[in-house]
Amino acid sequence: MMVAALVARLRATLGESGLLTEPGDIAPFSTDWRGLYRGRAAAVARPASTAELAETVRLCAEAGVPVVPQGGNTSMVGGAVPAGDGSEIVVTLARMNRVRGIDAIDLSITLEAGVTLKAAQDAAAEAGCLLPLSIAAEGTAQIGGVLATNAGGNNTVRYGNARDLVLGLEVVLADGSVWNGLRRLRKDNTGYCLRQLFVGSEGTLGIITAAVLKLVPRPVETEVALCAVPSPEAALRLFTRLHRADPASVQAFEYMAGTGMGFVLRHIPGAVLPLAAPSPHYALVELATPRAGAGLRAALEAALEAALEADDITDAVVAESGAQRAAIWKLREEHAEAQKREGASIKNDVSVPVSRVPDLIRRASAACAALMPGIRPVPFGHMGDGNIHFNLEQPVDMHAADFLARDHEIMDAVGEIVRDLDGSFSAEHGVGKLKPYMMPLWRGGAELEAMRRIKLALDPSGLLNPGKVLP
Ligand code: FAD
Ligand code: MLT
Ligand code: ZN
């Protein structure tokens, strides 16, 4: 069937408001947040229910037309962008955005895939709970996208990744059939764990339409501190000091280099450094507990004092209010946006064992400087779980296109060091369209072959998000 005939059938199924075909309407769905890829969707389907989505996928399968699932379109690896030849249909989950239920005793929340992560957090908070998943894109990223990428973010150090929070899923399969696995059981050993297969599959195995996620009790004490630290090694020692004292209270431990902080202060309106002077390195600490009277503030101050005496920090500020906590977090959360405003960047979302983070930062900085004089390393990220965004900003006097043309060379140089440190080339952003070329080197042999067989079993015609993840 021609794509045009399929579009007519989709319009009949979804109605006028359920299908976008005008170039101006589909353009935002055809490019990515970083502006690395410009695709062209044949149409954008906007189903409002699981039944409509299933019928959409069934019609596409019948016509042999590929489908690209899209959530908030905040992928850092071009994962939700359609091909450039108008041969693919984008399916956005945006209209499937209902919170179906919350149970504060089971500590679970049932959500449709198009609920934004922020809306899900707010719903949990209203019920006196915490959805312990936090990323800078949470206002836009959706539950389906967050699960499809197995997002990590700021709270992985304490609660794990998105994968660790999933109790149940509802998924539309490649032929349009629906798997309803919306169970909220803490124990369920009944064959292969299908839900974990779909988590992190980046839209290549099925389309997530709803999920049951774990919640935790909402913290009653939260403390946030921004510390100036003399080196990545000192930041790691500060983390170890806090984590050993009480691992259950370390909600986040983020590292930032002075370069990235400089970009935030320069480009983000209202960003102010609450310390006496800029530092070459910073650590952001968040401690939290649901235990009333736990004395977190005193514990944090004692730890910071000891760190100051040991020369592991040179200055620190502890937030005195919710507004100050938010202002400190803003300095961290705006890193990606500030980097974008500064110019072109090459991102390495890598992970290494936590103990090796300082080695990674030093060795990768030296390697990149040797490859390209004037390149500006912007390492920052989730030090407490070993995930550093070893991002690189273009030299000030270089053309953005010339810089980006060398992305593989630079990513591979960083990758070589990451391999040597027993790390991964994608910690939390996934593989998407940007990195499938790395898969044979990093996951080749039996592992990649097993992934190919899984893909073939669940999507034999290769219609779900082609060109992503697998080379
Ligand atoms: P999209 O970008 O729309 O899609 C991502 C992938 O999932 C694509 O392959 C898409 O096809 C697939 N997909 C989307 N919805 C579905 C569905 N319902 N079913 C099946 N497949 C689907 N990521 C982190 O992990 N940690 C961070 O700290 C973090 N910080 C970020 C900060 C900024 C400023 C930005 C722009 C991005 C950040 N990201 C981070 C990356 C991004 O936000 C995450 O990957 C997020 O999980 C993507 O969600 P989304 O809804 O935008 O998905
Ligand atoms: C973040 O943690 O802010 C993002 O994952 C960052 C990025 O790679 O730019
Ligand atoms: Zn991140």
Structural domain contains residue 456 = no
Structural domain contains residue 461 = no
Structural domain contains residue 448 = no
Listed residues 309, 335, 361: the one ending a domain: 335
Q: Sign of the C-alpha dihedral, residues 119, 158, 349, 174?
A: negative
Same domain, 236 and 134: no
Nearest atom in ligand 1 to the alpha carbon of residue 151 is: 25
CATH number of domain containing 225: 3.30.70.2190
Same domain, 293 and 262: yes
Same domain, 126 and 229: no
Residue whose token pair is 């169970």: 183
Structural domain contains residue 449 = no
Beta carbons of 102 and 204 less than 8 angstroms apart:
no
* Ligand 2: residue whose CA is nearest its atom 9: 336
Structural domain contains residue 466 = no
Please provide the size of the chain in residues: 471
Phi, psi of 251 (to 5 degrees): -85, -30
Nearest atom in ligand 1 to the alpha carbon of residue 93 is: 18
Ligand 2 pocket mutation pick from 134, 255, 334, 335 by most atoms within 8 angstroms of CB: 335
pLDDT for the residue numbered 2: 78
Structural domain contains residue 56 = yes
The set of protein residues with a Cβ atom below 6 angstroms from ligand 2 is: 76, 136, 335-336, 347, 349, 381, 389, 391
CATH number of domain containing 155: 3.30.465.10
Same domain, 292 and 321: yes
Same domain, 168 and 212: yes
Ligand positioned closest to the Cα atom of 116: 1
Listed residues 72, 92, 112: the one ending a domain: 92
Domain membership of residue 66 as a residue range = 3-92
> Please, is 369 exposed, middle or buried when counting C-beta atoms within 10 Å of its C-beta (0-12, 13-18, 19+)?
middle
Q: How far does residue 159's CA lie from ligand 2's centre (Å)?
A: 18
Residue whose token pair is 């060795």: 363
pLDDT for the residue numbered 103: 97
Same domain, 305 and 381: no
pLDDT for the residue numbered 1: 58
Report the interhelical angle of 322-333 vs 258-267 (nearest 10°). 110
Cα(329)–Cα(226) distance, integer angstroms: 9
pLDDT for the residue numbered 265: 98
Same domain, 285 and 319: yes
Ligand 2 pocket mutation pick from 349, 382, 387, 426 by most atoms within 8 angstroms of CB: 349
Same domain, 260 and 195: no
Mean pLDDT by 10 residues, the chain (471 residues): 89 97 97 97 98 98 98 98 97 98 98 98 98 98 99 98 98 98 97 98 99 98 98 98 97 98 98 98 98 96 98 98 98 98 98 98 98 98 98 97 97 98 98 98 97 98 98 95
CATH number of domain containing 411: 3.30.70.2740
Structural domain contains residue 153 = yes
Closest-CA residue to 29 (of 95, 67, 80)? 80
Same domain, 208 and 104: yes
User: For the whole model, what pTM was predicted?
Assistant: 0.98
Same domain, 210 and 245: no
Task: Report the domain count for the chain.
Answer: 4
Nearest 10 degrees: CA dihedral of 410, 200, 70, 132? -100
Same domain, 200 and 178: yes
Structural domain contains residue 470 = no
CATH number of domain containing 26: 3.30.43.10
Q: Where are the beta strands (DSSP E) in 196-314?
A: 207-214, 216-217, 221-229, 250-257, 281-289
Nearest atom in ligand 1 to the alpha carbon of residue 113 is: 18
Listed residues 153, 186, 217: the one ending a domain: 217
Same domain, 206 and 107: yes
